Amino acid sequence: MRLVARLCDEGPQSITRLTDQAGVDVTRQAITKHLRLMHDAGLVQETRRGRESIWHIETRRIDVARGYLDQISMQWDDAIGRLKALVEG
């Protein structure tokens, strides 16, 4: 989740920069694996600059996911409201 937040907040970044800022416990291989998985899910895109890969958020997919989550949240709010009315009634 921190990778997504950093790419959203700080913009496109290389794997080197993402690894340098990730902390001691995270390896370059782990960052690369996470980025590849997010790429396969359509959440990030890769652009080549010479020998370096620059990664950025695919905002359209994030917006679609946000829409689904908002919809689920509204359904839960409605269900909790009905449960509250039943318990109090």
The verdict on 75 and 45 lying in the same domain is: no
Cβ atoms of 2 and 10 closer than 8 Å: no
How do residues 2-11 score in pLDDT, each as one tens digit?
888 889 889 9
What is the pLDDT confidence band of residue 75, given thresholds at 50, 70 and 90? very high
Residue appearing with tokens 């990664």:
55
The verdict on 27 and 67 lying in the same domain is: no
Number of domains observed in the structure of the chain: 2
The verdict on 42 and 84 lying in the same domain is: no
The verdict on 69 and 39 lying in the same domain is: no
The verdict on 15 and 30 lying in the same domain is: yes
The verdict on 66 and 26 lying in the same domain is: no
Domain span at 10? 1-57
How do residues 20-72 score in pLDDT, each as one tens digit?
876 667 888 999 999 999 999 989 999 998 989 999 999 888 888 889 999 99
Query: Which long-range contacts does 26-32 make (Cβ < 8 Å, 24+ apart)?
Result: 31/3
The verdict on 8 and 46 lying in the same domain is: yes
